[in-house]
Structure 1
Amino acid sequence: MAAYSARGVHGQVVHHLGARIVGGEFTEGDTLDVRALGEQLDVSLTVMRESLKVLAGKGLIDARQKRGTFVRARSAWNLLDPDVIHWRTVGGDAARLLRDLADVRSIVEPAAARRAALRRTDADLAALDAALDAMARAQGDSAAAAEADAAFHRALLAATGNELLGRLDLLLEPGLRERDRLVHAHPAAGDPVPSHRAVVDAVRDRDAARAESAMHDLLAKSTEDLGLLTADDPADKA
């Protein structure tokens, strides 16, 4: 493998090794030969050790005396970590991740939309409208579309007036960003604005039942989008 440049070397090593672990090249209990990996990647032992500390913080690896550095069980991984989520999407586990995300959203977001309709402020509406405007401008730009969508859902949770619900963006946003990055890059992806605008209109009118229903419709559209990504996956069809 070609040598890394000095710029960003730690981050590159972290992403390289993290993707290999999450992708299954290294499995639970495997011992990592730190010196050999450093030689393979053409980086120093100092860089390797610092990079492994980052992976340990994400729950992927651990180190013990007499055993060395080894891969931890999947149950120990921080599955909410943005890097781990990204490595899952590029490592063949995207369908499972997106199904789990859709399940969580179906529990949280309709109830959040209902509460937002009852409790929203003018500032909340301004944030939702700004996110919609950004979404409309982002057509054809998957990165900008993902950012606008994240801003929308962040604003909706904040509009509930519940500080704990408002911080659920920490749970949902990393997965949403990966989902949107994949969906909006698909040539058959539809316009996300109408389904999101229906939620905002109901929240603006303080119509809790309609807001909840509109969010269910938005999630149904999201499920259709997920079908675009998995339609050609034989394992997923099975």
Structure 2
Amino acid sequence: MENVVTHPGKGLHGQAVEELGRRIIRGDYPPGSVVDPVKFETELGVSKTVVREAMRVLASKGLLESKQKRGTTIRPRADWNLLDSDLLRWQGSSAPTDAFLEDLAEVRAIVEPAGARFAATRRTPSDLDAMRQALDAMAAAGTDAEAMVEADLAFHRALLDAAHNELLSRMEVVIEAGLRVRDRIVHGARHHSDSIPVHQELLRAVEAGDPDAASAAVESLLAQASDDLAAIRAREDPDHAANDTLPEEAP
């Protein structure tokens, strides 16, 4: 039997969804390949019912499709619900690809400055309190990487919520995925810039009702995050970092 990773805090059904979803996302089963439910039952040590329900959930996320005479197959990546919170989390787990990290950074650069502009003109006292509490939690986290990640997430959720745009708030799933991946890498390495001053600058801009300053503060924060991540990747793989900075050849 294959060594299957368990996922604490989840029942058998949830664990089956997690394990199969992660396998599909990381490419263990290429698009178009036929999946064998009986094999999953054996590998995961669960019942036919558990596997069937897990596959039903994965089908609802666009990962699987079942057809008569063909059985259940992996759908093309273009059909996947890539904004699903589970898919974002699975893509960001283990070793996220450079392309995934870059996509997340670009989406954050589009969404968060605009969200900050709205927040600066629409924030309520309770919104500001939520941002202050999150900032206090960041300061109190110290070297506790997990506590810092959760506090950072709370701050950015509060910022989006302060824009009072229901659809913009739903972008939290993308922002959270980007933050979790970036923070796990950066704070786990314990060699990064202090992001608290930039968060404080952002909070002051929102408090002052200054949309231009709020947007600029977010852009500064995102630039710092990008620089920290690039520095860590350069330490881990100097050749890769050098290739990233090579000048383009003349046409």
Give the alignment's TM-score, normalised by structure 1: 0.88
SS at match of 1:62: strand
Number of the residue aligned with 1:205: 208
Q: Which moved more, 1:75-84 or 1:17-26?
A: 75-84
Report deviation, 1:144. Answer: 2.0
Q: Runs of 5+ in structure 1 lacking a partner?
A: none
- Give the alignment partner of residue 61 of structure 1, picking from 36, 59, 64: 64
Number of the residue aligned with 2:107: 104
Number of the residue aligned with 1:124: 127
Within 5 Å, give how 1:2-151 maps onto structure 2: 8-90=11-93, 92-151=95-154
Report deviation, 1:80. Answer: 2.0
- Give the alignment partner of residue 183 of structure 2, picking from 177, 180, 184: 180
Give, in whole Å, the separation in 1 of the partners of 2:3 and 2:162.
Answer: 49
**Percent identity between the two aligned chains:** 46
Report deviation, 1:206. Answer: 2.0
- Tell me if structure 1 keeps the 8 A contact 2:92–2:177: no
Report deviation, 1:84. Answer: 1.8
Backbone CA RMSD of aligned residues = 2.3
Aligned length: 237
Report deviation, 1:91. Answer: 5.3
SS at match of 1:59: coil
Q: 1:235 to 1:11 in 2, by over 3 A?
A: farther
Report deviation, 1:229. Answer: 4.5
Report deviation, 1:131. Answer: 0.9
Structure 2 counterpart of 1:101, one-letter code: L
Number of the residue aligned with 1:223: 226
Give the alignment's TM-score, normalised by structure 2: 0.84
Number of the residue aligned with 2:156: 153
Report deviation, 1:66. Answer: 0.8
Q: 1:37 to 1:118 in 2, by over 3 A?
A: closer
Give, in whole Å, the separation in 1 of the partners of 2:69 and 2:94.
Answer: 31
Report deviation, 1:69. Answer: 0.9
Number of the residue aligned with 2:198: 195
Q: 1:235 to 1:33 in 2, by over 3 A?
A: farther
Report deviation, 1:136. Answer: 1.2
- Runs of 4+ in structure 1 off by over 6 angstroms are none
